[in-house]
Structure 1
Amino acid sequence: MSMQWSFAQVDLKNLRAKPDTNLVEKPKSPVSNISQVVVPIPRLGLEVDYWKHWTKLGFNINQAFFNKHWNAGGVNSIAVLGTAWHKSEYNKNKINFTTEADLRYGRIQNDFLDENAGTLSKKNIDRIFWDNKLAYKLSPVWAIYVSFTFESQFDKGFTYARDNLDREYISGRESNFMAPGYFTESFGLEYKPDNTFSIRLGTGTARQTLVLDEQVKALTVEQYAIRYPDRPPITADQERYGLRPGQSFRNDLAFQLTANLDRDLSKNLHIKARYNVFADYTDLADPDQRLDAVLTAKITSLINVSLTGIVYYNSAEQPGVQVSQALALGVLYSLPR
């Protein structure tokens, strides 16, 4: 009995399939019939542009009219203002270069409908401002920078007086293009937490003041008496824009602080401001200070209302604080749209 069981085990072992045995014939793969095809990939020609550009062109006009029957008081007037602003910025790795130009010119005429009023057209704003800055980032918010700035004006500025017939006339020239003109070079640290606000600390700053118009330069007592024989004489030589008689150039070394704000307060309300302090190292207690601010409210894509204010103190020009303010309705075209 045991012998028969042994033969049965042997027979079953012979019937086992080996692991590599194919019980079903495999179909031939169609992949073997596919030939390799090379697909050409076109060059896209993509380039990285590290520059950004912004431009704004504006024109404002203000006008008031009162007819002869209007008895509540008032003066017919018209004022026009043209503005042009451009900014270009380059960013690559830790390098940043920014150039910004701000140009403004405006005039006002009172009693423009009355030929016998004897009033003259006057400029009410005149500014050339060009700022250039090269910075190298030390951290996400701090950078070391060098900058160059030019400031002047387009047109002549006058003083006015009235004659015996109450007609207005030009009594003297106060300013002109490059009279004064300012060149400022600065080196220091910049703090910039975001793209809308920055502070520059210019520990090494030099400013050159130029007065190139002979009629704007300071005069001696004798020169003043010859040029203005009808005026009361002066008792001491003049000093204008920090320059004495015979001088047309002055260089100052100073500490400079410059704060810039350029931010949207809401969807249609924008503020742009620049505050600058220039403290001469020879007289740190009497620094020059200037604040320029423009608040713009957008009515449509082209029409806007702007409120402009300037607060300026420079003891070399005037002993007190100079203030200018203007409210205007106008057209402002911005690029990119």
Structure 2
Amino acid sequence: MQHVNAFKVILPLTLVCLFSFLSANGQQNDTIPKDTTYWKKDFRGGLSFNQASFSENWQGGGVNSIGLNTNLTYKANYRKDIHSWDNTIDLGYGLVKNEDQGSRKSVDRLFLDTKYGRILNEKWTFFTSLTFLSQFDRGYEYDVEQADGTMRDSLISEFMSPAFITSSWGFEYHPVDYFTLRLGPFSPRLTVVNNDQLSEAGAYGVDPGDKTRFESLAFQMVADFNKDIAENLNLKWKYMMFANYKELEVKKLDHRLDLTLAAKVNKFIDVSVGGILLYDYDQIDELQISQALNLGLVYTYKNYKEKKK
């Protein structure tokens, strides 16, 4: 039984990457064009493929496999006088297929963020933001023993199950260009579990049978770091912490750390290693870890030049 349809997700994302590449490439000359607006735009799209195969007499062990990952990140940030408006789209999807198994997800991320800011001084800004986090496809826990003793795969997530929609209000600290810290003392969050089976089970903190959970009084902190730490070597990480004022216990604080180290081989090829550390008490009272290594085609475009220091 194949649980995921690769073409439903991989093809649209690939077409988006290709369209964005052609649009951006058609707009630029040999030098970065002058932008007469107040917008800074930053696009990054990539496609990576990995494969392994072994002969039947291979003594070292192993399993034949193929994998495909695609990702897209786009930022459009506006600055004029004391006003700012920052927007981020971060999409990723990947599949791996081992011999004698159906396709299984390796990456699945759908993240949207928009933030309005009113600059108070050189390092502080008042902000209000809206964030959406979900996934594209179904996720399974594989080979779960059932009540009748049989082994089957169990659905644990899908698009909008869960989805997290957070509105945050507070202050942002930005001491340098490559680091920001958001402190949102008022950050209500809506958790959506649209799947009937998962909502009946009370997954992701909703009451059994309900499809939403609203946490009206909450605090959110977001730390964002993105810097070229050496020539052709970029380090990027984002840490998010969420706390419900009504459940202020250490073990019930949500934590998420996304980390990526990317090295540019040439104009269109790079290699990256990344990982996610996640703790969400409403999902499971344990630390969750995800790691990925990719080598593939990448296209980047900016309508501005980084300041040299």
TM-score range, shorter chain: 0.7 to 0.9
- From 213, 233, 240, the equivalent of 2:203 is 240
- Equivalent of 1:320, from 283, 286, 299? 286
* Among 71, 81, 85, the residue aligned to 1:83: 71
- SS of the counterpart of 1:216? helix
- In structure 1, the residue matched to 2:219 is 255
What is the rounded CA distance, in whole Å, between the counterparts of 1:135 and 1:173 in structure 2?
Answer: 40
Alignment partner for residue 154 of structure 1, among 113, 120, 136? 136
Computed over aligned residues only, the root mean square deviation of the Cα atoms, in angstroms, reads 1.8
In the alignment, which residue of structure 2 is the partner of 1:71?
59
Work out the CA distance in 2 between the residues paired with 1:284 and 1:77: 45
Distance in 1 between residues matched to 2:213 and 2:97, nearest whole Å: 36
Query: Which residue of the partner structure matches residue 179 of structure 1?
Result: 161
- Counting strand residues as a fraction of each chain, which structure ranks higher? 2
Counterpart selection for 1:266 from 222, 227, 230: 230
Give the equivalent residue in structure 1 for 2:268.
Answer: 302
Q: Report what 1:143 is aligned to.
A: 125
Higher helix share: 2
What amino acid maps onto 1:262 in structure 2? N
Higher relative contact order at CA 8 Å, sep ≥6: structure 1 or structure 2? 2
Q: Report which of the two structures shows the higher radius of gyration computed on alpha carbons.
A: 1
List runs of 5+ in structure 1 lacking aligned partners: 1-45, 112-116, 220-238
**CA displacement, residues 291-332 of structure 1 (integer Å, 9 cap, x when unaligned):** 011110011111110101000000100110000001111111
Identity rate of aligned residues, in percent? Answer: 38
| Alignment-mate amino acid for residue 170 of structure 2 | G
Could you say which residue in structure 2 is the equivalent of 1:206?
188
Report the CA distance between 1:172 and its aligned residue. 2.1
Q: Report the counterpart of residue 32 of structure 1 in structure 2.
A: none
Look up the SS of the partner of 2:286 in the other structure: coil
- Taking structure 2 as the reference length, the TM-score comes to 0.82
Q: Report the Cα distance in structure 1 between the residues aligned to 2:144 and 2:253, rounded to whole angstroms.
A: 36
What TM-score does the superposition give when structure 1 sets the normalisation length?
Answer: 0.75
CA distance in 2, matches of 1:217, 1:159: 17
- The 5 A counterparts of 1:24-39 are none
Which residues in structure 2 correspond to 1:326-337 (within 5 Å)?
A: 326-336=292-302
Give 1:158 deviation, angstroms.
1.6
1:16-75 deviation digits (Å, cap 9, x = unpaired):
xxxxxxxxxxxxxxxxxxxxxxxxxxxxxx994111111111011121111112111111
How much does 1:159 deviate? 2.2
Q: Is 1:58 matched with 2:46?
A: yes
3-state DSSP of counterpart to 2:187: strand
Whichever residue aligns with residue 50 of structure 2, its letter is: N
Q: Deviation string for 1:263-284 (max 9, x for gaps)?
A: 1011110011110000110122
